[in-house]
A and B are shown apart, each in its own frame.
Chain A
């Protein structure tokens, strides 16, 4: 359904040109849950913005059902790291906003907004303003707002990164249920590998400088998945080892040249060093 071909994105800055994305190819099937993981600066969020139509690729093309994507549109809803709710609108009006733009009648959009607020369990707060809700609740509203648009593609840019881990766990479970119920194509960006394996049908590992796809992992585990599942942990391990050199590569570029990660080395503690000074 989504064909991403030959995408390049170049940023020109004072310090020279950065290849945020280079020759990215990816095909995404209808109803698939794809998660992009990678070290910071690998262009995963940029790729998502290009799919959303919020940014333009320097070269290459993304087609949705055969038609090239040129602009942002309500057929590809985006959830950001922050909820991005409008503070001057009540929760219910925030959920209705997109439908209002679409031109759906008042009665219908109120019903639909309430339906999706029920799905995220926040009907009690329909008349509240966004600042009266916790960050996790706001993110739920953002999810309801995205779902209410009936887009077939849902793009999620680290939507749970700012949440505490308990809230995150609950939302992971609910997102899987909602995905199962709505059959949407979801592209999810995260730097958390466990989150990726927990949610994804397919995990796409990206590398930085230049940003490109390194490897893909299929996750063929039953749902609902459990974070403590041994098969899940095994896949997480595989992906982490794939990512490790990437993370180190990025760190080496950012930090002083004498930096290196000492792994598996003995942690010396001066106060328990028995043989010292003999």
Chain B
């Protein structure tokens, strides 16, 4: 009989990861833009963000379990909270480092307000935003594993901890291997391509 526990666990884990990451992407981008637009928010939140980012996301798990109960939502919350801040910080620093010349050029061509923001400021900050997205993707993986190891539900982390309980090191190493392969594939297929496209347009690729 075929054992489908790894594909099933991988499917569940990936689903959680994508939902959590998507939430963190949306909130992180919004938060970054808000911090950039509103000076009070920048002064109040920027130092705090740096501090919160050093906090391992798993520290949020006890609170998450209290708020959402032992289950899906708690893990997704931990994933999201782990990657939001690195995305918003990359947005803020990316926007701060946009060459003023681009903004000047856009101004003289009559681009104003939101239009200028979306058509010049954000695209110009894109290289930095992508590296933030990449970094937060790995944060999301870590948060996912921590969450699954500590809450007895399902997913790759749960299968891993089961391997430990059964002293089945083949299973443990197998899961580790699966995680590495998945990470590699997604980096190649998604982030690698995005990064390459941006680097090519900016003229930063070699050869």
Restricting to B187-207, which residues have a CB under 8 Å from any CB of A? 198, 200-203
Cβ distance A129 to chain B, nearest Cβ, rounded Å:
5
**CA distance in complex: A39, B105 (Å):** 25
Interface status of B163 (Cβ within 8 A of chain A): no
- Is B201 touching A77 in the complex (CB atoms < 8 A)? no
| A74-B202 in contact (CB<8A) | no
Interface readout for B120-140 with A: 1 if CB under 8 Å, 0 if not?
100110100000000000000
Chain A residues contacting B124 (CB-CB under 8 Å) are: 86, 88
- Of B17-25, B48-56, B109-117, B144-152, which binds chain A? B109-117
Tell me, yes or no, whether B66 is within 8 Å of chain A by CB. Answer: no
Q: Mark B1-19, 1 if CB is under 8 A from A, else 0.
A: 0000000000000000000
Q: Using CB atoms, name the residue of chain A closest to B203.
A: A131
Interface status of A213 (Cβ within 8 A of chain B): no
The answer for the CA separation of A54 and B103 in the assembled complex, in Å, is 10
Interface size on B, residues (CB 8 A): 21
A132 at the B interface (CB under 8 A): yes
* Structural contact, A97 and B203, CB atoms closer than 8 A: no
CB contacts under 8 Å to B, within A87-142, are 87-88, 97-98, 101-102, 129-132
A86→B123 contact, CB < 8 A: yes
User: Measured between C-beta atoms, what is the minimum distance from B201 to chain A in Å?
Assistant: 5
Within the assembled complex, what's the spacing in Å between the Cα atoms of A84 and B108? 12
Q: Which residue from B101, B110, B126 sits with its C-beta under 8 Å from A98? A: B110
**Cα-based distance from A54 to B201 in the complex (angstroms):** 28
Q: B49-88 toward A: CB 8 Å interface, digit per residue (1/0)?
A: 0000000000000000000000000000000000000000
Decide yes or no whether A202 CB sits under 8 A from chain B: no
A78 CB-CB contact with B under 8 Å: yes
Of residues 69 through 88 on chain A, the ones whose CB sits less than 8 Å from some CB of chain B are 72-74, 76-78, 80, 82, 84, 86-88
Selected from A74, A84, A86, the residue in CB contact (under 8 A) with B110 is A74
Seen from chain A, the residues whose Cβ lies within 8 Å of a Cβ on chain B are 52-54, 72-74, 76-78, 80, 82, 84, 86-88, 97-98, 101-102, 129-132, 145, 149
Q: Which 8 pairs, one residue from A and one from B, show the smallest C-beta to C-beta distance?
A: A131-B203, A98-B109, A74-B110, A84-B105, A72-B107, A78-B108, A84-B101, A88-B123
20 pairs across A/B with beta carbons < 8 Å? A53-B107, A53-B108, A54-B108, A72-B110, A74-B109, A74-B110, A76-B108, A77-B108, A78-B105, A82-B101, A84-B101, A88-B202, A97-B111, A98-B110, A101-B115, A101-B119, A129-B200, A130-B203, A131-B203, A149-B110
